[in-house]
Amino acid sequence: IISMVMVAVGVYARLLKHTEAAMACLAVDPTILLVVVGVLTFLITFCGCVGSLRENICLLQAFSVCLTVVFLLQLAAGMLGFVFSDKARGKVSEIINGAIVHYRDDLDLQNLIDFGQKEFSCCGGVSYKDWSQNMYFNCTAANPSRERCSVPFSCCLQDADEAVINTMCGQGMQAMSYLEASAFIYTNGCIDKLVNWIHSNLFLLGGIALGLAVPQLVGILLAQILINQIRDQIKLQLYNEQHRADPWY
């Protein structure tokens, strides 16, 4: 049910977007991720649910294999991210830069970036000047945009007494030096902030990973137990049919 809701929300959000703008940032669209995860979750849980209800060995084996593959992929991703941290950092930087380029093309992506910058008190990938990669915030003299040399309002320092958010607070910040801009916006990039947050919350992340891994391992174990029980029942039934004509039966 949860996976079907995820797919429905993702498809609905996707249909609401302008076609050309949506196609331009297909690779970084959060709705695509939501739909893909929802579809995969639905297929896996469907095999497990129907397979256990109907005692279908093929569906149960598919469920067990899919869970095993997902678990191994998660384990491999965690190990590779730890061992090849520099390459993982480069990949994260590439994803963030791609999101910056398409910031104004997708409202969902825009809200996601703004949320991340507010929560981590950061701006851009490596620094606030990364926003020059966006065509609207580009700081070249040939850029006719009114947001030239600016940064999104989510980069601005939060004022607790400010009742109304000033969405133009990042105007012209890229033209300032780090020291000058630091009085108005967060100048540190989100990559360093994210890495520091991960290092500070290793136990929390480990607990989340364990919380995801335990149900998967339990599901694999229970599926294999049920498969063995079904096979034993089939063998017993075949044995009874073969010996039905036995006078001692």
pLDDT of 3-12, one tens digit each? 899 888 888 8
CA quadruple 118, 110, 9, 76: dihedral sign: negative
Reduced to 3 states (helix: H, G, I; strand: E, B; else coil), residue 106 is coil
pLDDT of amino acid 23: 47
Q: Which residue ranges of the chain lie beneath pLDDT 50?
A: 20-24, 26
DSSP single-letter state for residue 246: -
pLDDT in tens, 14-29: 777 655 444 445 455 6
Q: What phi and psi values does residue 156 have, to the nearest 5 degrees?
A: -75, 150
pLDDT of amino acid 30: 73
The CATH number of domain 75-238 is 1.10.1450.10: yes
pLDDT of amino acid 240: 82
Q: pLDDT averaged over the chain?
A: 85
User: Which pair of structure tokens corresponds to residue 119?
Assistant: 């929560």
Annotated domain spans of the chain: 1-54, 75-238
pLDDT of amino acid 22: 47
Reduced to 3 states (helix: H, G, I; strand: E, B; else coil), residue 185 is strand
CA 131 from centroid of its chain's CA atoms:
22
User: Which pair of structure tokens corresponds to residue 70?
Assistant: 């997902």
CB neighbours of residue 212 within 10 Å = 12
User: Which pair of structure tokens corresponds to residue 29?
Assistant: 């669209």
Residue with tokens 């950061």: 122
